[in-house]
Copies of this chain bind each other. A is one copy, B any other.
Amino acid sequence: MAERTLKLTLAYDGTRFVGWQRQAQGDSIQGLLEESLSRFDGASVVVHGAGRTDAGVHALGQVASVAVHFDHDVTTLQRALNAQLPPDVRVLSIAEVGSDFHARFSARSKTYQYRIRNAAIADPFERAYVWHLQEPLDRAAMERAAEALIGTHDFMAFQSTGSQTNGTTRTITSSLWRDSGGLLVYEITGDGFLRHMVRAIVGTLIDVGRGWREPEAVAALLERRPRSEAGATAPAHGLYLLRVDYH
C-alpha cells in the first residue's frame, strides 16, 4: 500500500495520563494511539500531536497526524480506534490529508481554555476539571491584564525554567475572560505556546484578580522579565487544549 497521511481530532480526559507525550513510565495519549495504529499498520507508526499537553491537562480538540500504509476507510478506522482505546480518549474525526501535513508544524494557531469555579464550595464532580477559587476576584482588572497579552511579545517570564525552544517570542491573537455555564473561563489563541505558558499566564492573571498585583504588571512582565517575577503556575487540571487551526 502507498503511504497515506491521516489527521485525527481527539478529545481526552487527561486526569490519569502522564501527558500527551510517550514516557518511559505510565500511560500517554500518544503511546496509546501509536500502539493501536501500529497494530493496524503491521509496523511501528509515529503519531505527532499539535500540542504536547502535560499530565492532567485535558483536550477537547487535540489534532494528531500520522503516516500509515493500511487501506481502511476513515469511518471504519475511527470506529475501530474508539473500540480499542480506553473511554477517556475519543477520536472525534479522522480525515485524509496531504503528505506534507504535520499536526504541529502546519498549525496556524492553537486555542487553550482555562476553567475556574469561583464559589464558596467546590463542586465534587469538578475536582479534576476546574480550578476552584473561593476568594472574590476583580474581573475588570483581570480583563485589562488579559488584553495586555495580545500582540507579539517575548514570553520568557511565562515559560517554565529549563525549557528549550526556538526563541521565546510568540504572537497572541486573542486573550479574554468569559462566563460559561457558571464557570469563569480564560481563552487564549496564539501561534505557539512555551512550556507551561498558559498556566503561568493564568496564575499571573489570578494574582491580578486577587489584587496581589496591578493589571499593568502583565505588560511589565513582557519586557523580558525572569520567570520568578510572574505568578505561580496554575494547576494542570483546569487547562484544556480547545482547538487547533490550520491554513
Contacts and interface: CB of A to CB of B under 8 A. Distances in A.
Interface stretch (A49-57, A124-132, A164-172, A193-201): A124-132
A11 B124 contact: yes
Q: How many copies does the complex hold?
A: 2
Interface string A117-128: 000011111010
B90 A122 contact: yes
A189 to B, nearest CB: 22
A139 B115 CA distance: 34
14 contacts: A11-B124, A11-B125, A12-B124, A13-B125, A13-B127, A58-B125, A87-B122, A87-B124, A88-B127, A90-B121, A90-B122, A90-B123, A125-B129, A181-B181
A13 B126 CA distance: 9
A95 to B, nearest CB: 15
A92 interface: yes
A87 B88 CA distance: 21
A123 B61 CA distance: 12
Contacts of A92: 121
